[in-house]
Structure 1
Amino acid sequence: MDAQTKSIFAVDGLAHVESYYADTAHATLPWPQLSESIECDVCIVGAGFTGLSSALFLAEAGYDVVVLEANHVGWGASGRNGGQVVNSYSRDIDVIEDRYGSRTADMLGSMMFEGANIIRQRIDQYAIDCDYRPGCIFAALTPRQLGGLREQRLLWTRYGHTDLQLLDKQEIQQEIATDRYVGGLLDRNGGHVHPLNLALGEANAIRKHGGRIFEQSAVTQIDSGNPALVHTSKGQVRARYVLLAGNAYLGHNLGHKSLPRLGRLSMPCGSQIVATAPLDDATAKSLIPNNYCVEDCNYLLDYFRLSADNRLLYGGGVNYGAKKPLSIDEVILPKLYRTFPQLRGIKIDFRWSGNFLLTLSRMPQFGRLDDNVYYMQGDSGHGVTLTHLAGKLITEMLRGDAERFDAFANLPHMPFLGGRSLQVPFTVLGAAYYSLRDRLGV
């Protein structure tokens, strides 16, 4: 890898975090910094999965697209997450039906497996090398959780997804070398990827369609109007439409009157991951023989998988308000050793954290700030698949078919109790309650 190509990971202190993903990212040409005044059809703020998926769908549809990224492509959650391709939403379809009615549930239910399919289509269409592997297991720690997975299987089958298998205690122990779980649900339509390489591959696909991405180009102000004017420190973009796709890393002091209100409806949260040293083939295969990714069913869940080079990637924990823990090892390693005591003492090569955006309802927030300024955010831990669906929906909407976008945009959202100053302590109290329920199995 030559110095020019590798430079995207170490420029002006804005490098990707020192993660396994950054260390194994594919070579790619750098994107320029915006240093002039330009025009386009759609200006997208943020080069994570939401922005990249939107830009690629729009560019394929013939729109002139500009993406402005404060750091580097995939710098935020999109390049740091667990790489789990998990279907549905952070609240499953039964909760959606109870809260919002059958019509909304039917509309959202018809889309809840689409994001994973889009990811696979992108990988195939653009030959993106991102270590995709099929299969995801939801692992139950208690009989109550296993009962919930039985109900989930029935619900998902009702919406057309039948490639599911319930696992009893013996069967899940054949899939995961631990005695922690009483059963699980295998979703063969889920899977796992190297998320940063997926993001970089999608950015290259945008380049092929004539889309423009500018890195190190943080947005400083958005002026309403038709066209809207989006400012950076060294340039500006005049655009017919603006899409805010920064999620947990979106600033709310950009001069737009509605952005502070948007900030009160969501809360950045941190999650942590470690990556072990590479395991020998026999050990790796003994842990997860069929190379599925796994997440448990706790309210504050753990998730893990094997990388392409046989490392165990293990993540979990939530820091409300995105406050970094003093020690990632102290948060994650007890969980890892409880699941796989046979790995006690294994060398940890990488440890990192990243932020996702949580909403009070755990449902995503789509909407309009002006007639031509849109936002999509708040995937609440299900961002890998939902962001890819979001890109398709914003493209449908701009082309005149807003029905599916509006199915999300019409969901009601309330601010966190106590506003920005008290949202963290109140949420921590709620999380402690649900964590106690998990531990008690009720």
Structure 2
Amino acid sequence: MKHAFSLLLLITLWFLPEKVQAQDDMKVEAYDTLNIEKEPIPTTQAGEFSPGRGFDLYKSKMGSLNISVYGLIRYTNHLPATQSFTDHLGRERNVDTRHDIQWHRTFVWASGFFYTPKLRYTISVWGLASTGQTLVFGNMHYQVHKALRIGAGIGPNLGTRSLQGPWPYFMATDRQMAEEAVRPGFTGGFWLTGEPLPRFNYWLFLGNNLSTLGINNTQETRDLTKSASIWWMPTTGEFGPRGGFGDFEQHEKLATRFGASYVYARENRFNDVSNPTPAETQVRLSDGVYLFETGSLAEGVTIRNARYQIGAVDLGLKFKGFHLQTELYLRKLSNFNATGPIPESESEITDDGFYVQASYSIIKKKLDIYGAYSTIRDQFERNPWEVAGGLSFFPSGTRSWRINLHVIRIEKSPAGSTFGYYTAGQSGTTVSLATDILL
């Protein structure tokens, strides 16, 4: 690792002096070459950290500042209102159903470049009204070459497609059940990304843990996550803005995208085993139970550490308002360090699953209809699934403002969070009506 960082430093130093002498003459040319006036941030990072076009507050040869905002209001209703489920150890648990109207999520981004258009920054203010959380974070990246961009800050563990750009251009306003159940999250890290061959991209990421949410640096361990993703867009070399879902842009030529992703982590519960509720809440079993909570795999036994691995393959195509997308997952939880014995049958837990979704523009740039199916096949033989569908209306004729009606029929949800549509263990119907803006 030491040699790798030394090599990166040498590469950076090699390229920096190349521009210094001719800096004044080339700044305007470099500005146009990187399309900074035309596109605020090329989306080679997570959509959560990629502003919209925003509003330019300041722009000069030495720097720029753009402000962009995202807001989501959502009504959510889980039916039936009173539910319970039985976990894989035969224990009955209550389902915490929701019926609420929330100003759900807020993002404010300050972004631009400093000194050279190759050095970009994004500072994000994120708020979730349903939990009262507000965070300020950011990242910086330096464009060495089209084949190499060096970045650091808060970024995604690269385990699934939706973490790598599409947000908030999903079919609805959040992810499908199968992905929400097994995906990793965002954390502080360092990454390399680029396009070394025409229409072929890579992304390598080294991070602190699976999700930094609720974890501070005094709780961190010395184990770092490693992840990688590659994708190929052979026919058109693009997949729409942010690589988002839905063919809002009405591709006249078939657009295709093929990708593969992988994450490896030695994850910790990040608080003392005397507390039955873990600080780490990213990893759930297929019955919706937190892996690191006391009693997850055996009564009275707490998992201190576990190996988390996930691999995913995604395929997508767009043509004349039609979009078809699928992603397949394989997740393995193993190498448990526990406070007591756990059943041999649960010493290694493997789940696989997938989603498939399709959409079509009924009225071009105004009204989309979509449907989706997802499932997880697990060794507990619960095999949760969902069928979902809805309509998205774009009043302004742009992606910037959407009104969305989303309906889900779900059985034995393994996913649960305040972010998405799902509550752990839920069976029944979820109805959501939402509107969001990205400016």
TM-score under structure 2 normalisation? 0.24
TM-score under structure 1 normalisation? 0.24
Structure with greater helix share of residues: 1
Structure with greater strand share of residues: 2
